[in-house]
Amino acid sequence: MQHGANVVGSRSCPVRFLGQDYDKLHQDFVRHRARFLDSSFPPEQSSIGPGILSAREAASVVWIRPTKMINNPQLVIGGESRFDYTQGELGNCWFLAAIGAITFQKDIMDQVVPAGQTFTKDYAGIFHFRFWRFGKWVDVVIDDKLPTINGRLIFVHCKTLNEFWPALLEKAYAKLCGSYADMSGGYVSEALTDFTGGVHMTLRLAEGHPELWNLMYSAARYKSVMGCGTPPGTTPANTELSNGIVEGHAYTVTGVTKVMSHSESVKLVRVLNPWGHTEWNGNWSDGSPLWNTVSEENRTRWFHSKEDGEFWMSMEDFCGSFATLDICCFSAAFLDGSSPGTWTSAQYEDCWDTNTSGGSMGHMESFWRNPQYRVKIPALSPDSQETQGWNLLVSLMQKPVGKHRDLQPRLHIGLGVFPVPPGMKDQKGFPASFFASNAPVREAEACINTREVMESFRLSPGAYLIVPYTRNPNETSSFILTVHSKSKYDH
């Protein structure tokens, strides 16, 4: 969520992660002609974490600054590109897929990778990056020592050997998560949110969404960032299928378009494998003869045959190959193609404690104790040409208390949305009897132990009650509830 200018935690005034002030540290080390060494994320095995390297590999690790690794190191060469990097020995394709998405948005990249950082002028071995984290922007300081074996970077690395923005960005996020190992395994939605602080929704493609193409097309028009994931399959992780798709893998959606082929309109989706190679080989792939059936203008504009991990596929093949689609945008207006001013966002930081943790709806005698939030959905104007689209998006995110992302025991969480009868619109707190006689708008999703639960709704006009809950009563955790609601309609 965006905060007002100069408010601590806003885009323009991020929180100093672990209290480290980049500007002050940088000035001090420049003045003393010294190189920064980060004691809060030291260049040693504890920062890599367990389970990634064998004992033999771990013993071979040497942490090296880019200035000692290669001549003329650069942070960025010719702008950040989705083709700059290749995944290393870490299962963080979800993170790299999100990086591929934000390289299209200069304003996002400039927020995440602050300007003025270089290996030449006033170089002191210190860099910083910015991420949205649980409701606030944070500024993460790192030293530039990177883990290598035999002089080669272990984790993400650039195809251009003297370019280092992906490796340093990955290190900063590893520090935020607790270690490199804490980044092993995740969902692209998490990284997209942490790069943007935007409105996020996940669609499960197997459920079938008749409006999916229009939603993706609208999302692209609103400069959204998108990612997708394949189902895990029954074979070992990251198994490449005969069609070139990798099972249990995160990808970036880099484009959507329509072309005419044999006098028919074909909807196409462009997808990027963060490995930088291994591509779909079916219809509309780099080697597909179908590209010979489109106009020369469209072929020149959209088609390129190169082993870079990026490929086109039809909308039908996309939905048949991928399990989830994640969309992240600065405004919920992409949901219905409206102007951003027609949507309102509210963010609540709260907690479940011994008094306010009533459990899920299977615990009806205590469910009413959960926190309760009101939202109002306006009516369409009588002369409106609009149909009832999505008008409520609710995100529930639990906040960890410890240092390590991957070691947090996450609660099973969920949320319910209940219609409020007209006679109860001034009700302050809803008792057990209300929930015993009023069902949620849609059957609540099963509680899941994930960082975030997101639900989107098409609701009739009226007042509603949002109730976030844990699976069992008396489970305690802090959480952030974000409510994006349609507040008015375009004329």
- 249 a catalytic residue: yes
Q: Are 188 and 327 in contact (CB under 8 A)?
A: no
**Of 3, 26, 128, 273, which one is the catalytic site residue?**
273
Contacts of 121 (CB under 8 A, 6+ apart): none
Give the single-character DSSP code of 170. H
* Structure tokens, 35: 């190189």
Q: Are 166 and 88 in contact (CB under 8 A)?
A: no
**Of 26, 249, 363, 484, which one is the catalytic site residue?**
249
CA end-to-end span of the chain: 27
**Of 3, 26, 92, 93, which one is the catalytic site residue?**
93
Contacts of 173 (CB under 8 A, 6+ apart): 95, 129, 131, 140, 183, 191, 194
* Structure tokens, 179: 């270690």
* Structure tokens, 467: 């109730």
With the C-alpha atoms ordered 244, 269, 213, 217, is the resulting torsion angle positive or negative?
positive
- Which of 217-223's residues contact partners 24+ apart within 8 Å by CB, and which partners? 217/256, 218/334, 218/335, 218/336, 218/337, 219/327, 219/329, 219/334, 220/255, 220/256, 221/334, 221/337, 222/329, 222/330, 222/331, 222/333, 222/334, 223/104, 223/105, 223/329, 223/330
CA 321/CA 478 separation, integer angstroms: 36
Q: Are 417 and 473 in contact (CB under 8 A)?
A: no
Phi/psi class of residue 32: alpha, beta or left (left: φ > 0; alpha: ψ in -120 to 50)?
A: alpha
Q: Which of 142, 119, 120 is nearest to 63 (CA)?
A: 142
CA 405/CA 398 separation, integer angstroms: 12
Which residue is it, tokens 């504009």? 301
Q: Are 405 and 174 in contact (CB under 8 A)?
A: no
* Structure tokens, 475: 């489970």
The phi, psi pair for 237, rounded to 5°, reads: -55, 145
Q: Are 270 and 311 in contact (CB under 8 A)?
A: yes
The length of the chain, given as a count of residues: 491
* Structure tokens, 281: 């080989």
CA 162/CA 254 separation, integer angstroms: 26
Q: Which of 487, 438, 489 is nearest to 467 (CA)?
A: 438
Q: Are 453 and 333 in contact (CB under 8 A)?
A: no
Q: Which residues are catalytic?
A: 93, 249, 273
